[in-house]
Amino acid sequence: MRATAQTHVATHDECSSHLPTPGHPERPERLRAAVEGASSAGAAALPVEIDEAKILAAVGRVHEAGYPGRLRDASARAPQIFDTPDNPVSSGSYRAALAAAGCSLAAADAVLAGDADTVFVAVRPPGHHAQHAKAMGYCFFNNVAVAAEELLARGCGPVAIVDFDVHHGNGTQDHFWERDDAFFLSVHRYPFYPGTGAGDEIGEGRGRGHTRNFPLASGADDETYTEAVAAGLEEILRMGAPRAWLISAGFDAHGDDPLGGMQVSDEGFGAIGKMLGQARRGSPLVAVLEGGYRPEALQRSVRAFLTGVGGTTKS
């Protein structure tokens, strides 16, 4: 089946079940804003089935075998802190994390089947800080890595993973650090949480040269951010043509975001989307929501980004 040009959005109501402590930036309003942004860009809903066994098998390619069970047990005993102080859990946190990984897996399934060529995965909690056996930075399961591993396991590789969240995607980088079947590009504020992402971090062993970081100073604007993304995309394309693109789409570099300290505008995210739409050269693209903590700005940024990627129509 040949994919249509229309962008799809994968989401699930269970992603609202994660309820951190009052005042926590990673709140359910983010999910509604992201979905509204995708819908206003003309994205069509992609059906998502939560098959726990299937999702856990995919999560097992990224995380330690006992890790999902620890999260499930912590959620059953909630409220409490899980692994790090910035990861409080509620009774619904495990279900939300499972649904977020499940939506990412559904997006990979859809592009592999040819049912879609562009999927925006509107989920929470985010994922790119999640490590092999440890939650951190509001993240539990590494959603973009789960999607990437599914594509690779089914013969769709090499893949490119592009992370433009204001925070460095340390969990994703760690996972693919010694791999040559994935190219990891991150553009982010530095020095900043989580402290990784220096320019000399380029991978090791077979993966040497397949990781590329573009650390930017606080206050970076549209011009600075988009120039870094463009330079990184050029490096990826010089190394070859990825068969699929995975995007850690974080919008907390927006000038209105309360956490990021950057000055990217709606139009800047639209420009990043356009660059990715051109760089993909017809290959499938799955973009997974990461940060973005001012709901109004997040909604506008998602709309601009997806319109830039192409295959959507403004309403």
CATH number at 151 reads: 3.40.800.20
Is residue 315 situated within a structural domain? no
Would 314 be classed as within a structural domain?
Answer: no
pLDDT tens digits, 256-313: 999 999 999 999 999 999 999 999 999 999 999 999 999 999 999 999 999 999 854 3
- What pLDDT does 310 receive? 87
Q: In sequence order, which residues have a C-beta less than 8 Å from that of residue 127 and are 6 or more positions away?
A: 100, 101, 104, 139, 140, 141, 142, 143, 144, 145, 146, 171, 248, 288, 290
Q: Is 128 a catalytic residue?
A: no
Average pLDDT over residues 160-177: 98
Residue 71 lies in a domain: yes
pLDDT tier for residue 201 given thresholds of 50, 70 and 90: very high
**In this structure, how many other beta carbons lie within 10 angstroms of the beta carbon of residue 115?**
16
Is residue 2 included in any domain, yes or no?
no
- Which of 12, 63, 129, 188 is an active site residue? 129
Q: Is residue 179 part of a domain?
A: yes
User: Within 10 A of 214 (CB to CB), how many other CB atoms are there?
Assistant: 20
Q: What is the pLDDT of residue 224?
A: 98
Q: Is residue 124 part of a domain?
A: yes
Range of the domain at 157: 8-309
The reported pLDDT for the residue numbered 1 is: 33
- Does residue 103 contact residue 127 with C-beta atoms inside 8 Å? no
Does any domain span residue 39? Answer: yes
Q: Give the Cβ contact number of residue 114 at 10 Å.
A: 12
Q: What is the mean pLDDT of residues 147-167?
A: 98
Tally of domains in the chain: 1
- In a domain, residue 66? The reply is yes
> What Cα–Cα distance (Å) separates residue 256 from each residue in 23, 153, 160, 216, 264?
18, 39, 29, 18, 9
Enumerate the β-bridge partners of residue 10. 121
